[in-house]
Amino acid sequence: MRRLCLPALLLAAAASLISCAEEEQGPQVYEIDGNAISAGLPADAPVHPVACGCSIESEGACGNFVDIDGKYIPLEGDVGLGAMEFCGRTGLHAAMLGKVEDGAFVATAFELRE
C-alpha cells in the first residue's frame, strides 16, 4: 500500500511546487529589437517620459528614470530593463504599471513606446 501512496504524494507535491513557481514569476517579459516588452499591458496604461540619468541635469549619473508628475525618479522593478536602458537615447516614452515606493517608481509591467 505504501508504494501506491508515495507516488501519488510525490505527484501532488510536484504539482504544488509548479503552481507556486508560476505565481511568483510576475508578468512575462519579451525583448523585441532590444526593447523590453511586458506581456499583458492594458492599452490604457499610463504613458510617461523615460530617460537616462546622465541626460537629467539634477541627476548627472546613468540609470533608468521616469517622469512622474514633472519630476524624474528612479525606475525600478523586474520588467527586463538593463541598468542603462535609455542611455544615449532621447524623446522616449513608456507605458507602465506600478507604484511609487521610497522615492522610486517600481514597475510591474513596462512597454517602451518611441
Q: How far apart are the C-alpha atoms of 32 and 7, rounded to whole Å?
A: 43
Residue 29 neighbours by CB distance under 10 Å? 17
How many domains is the chain partitioned into structurally?
1
Does residue 43 lie within any of the structural domains? yes
Q: What is the pLDDT of residue 13?
A: 52
Element (H or E) spanning 48, and its range?
A: strand 47-52
Q: Which residues contact 33 (CB under 8 A, 6 or more apart)?
A: none
Smallest CA-to-CA distance from 94 within 35, 31, 50 is with 50
Residue numbers in the chain where pLDDT is lower than 50: 1-4, 9-10, 16-28, 30, 32-33, 38
Q: Is residue 96 part of a domain?
A: yes
Is 12 inside any structural domain?
no
Return the bridge partners of 111, or none: 37, 95
Domain span at 61: 26-113
Question: Look-up: residue for cell 544615449?
Answer: 88
- What are the tens digits of pLDDT across the range 34-55? 555 545 577 788 999 999 999 9
> Tell me, what's the pLDDT at 60?
85
Tell me whether residue 64 is in a domain. Answer: yes
Query: Is the residue at 98 inside a domain?
Result: yes
- Residue 1 falls within a domain, yes or no? no
**Paired strand residues for 72:** 67
How high is the pLDDT of residue 53? 94
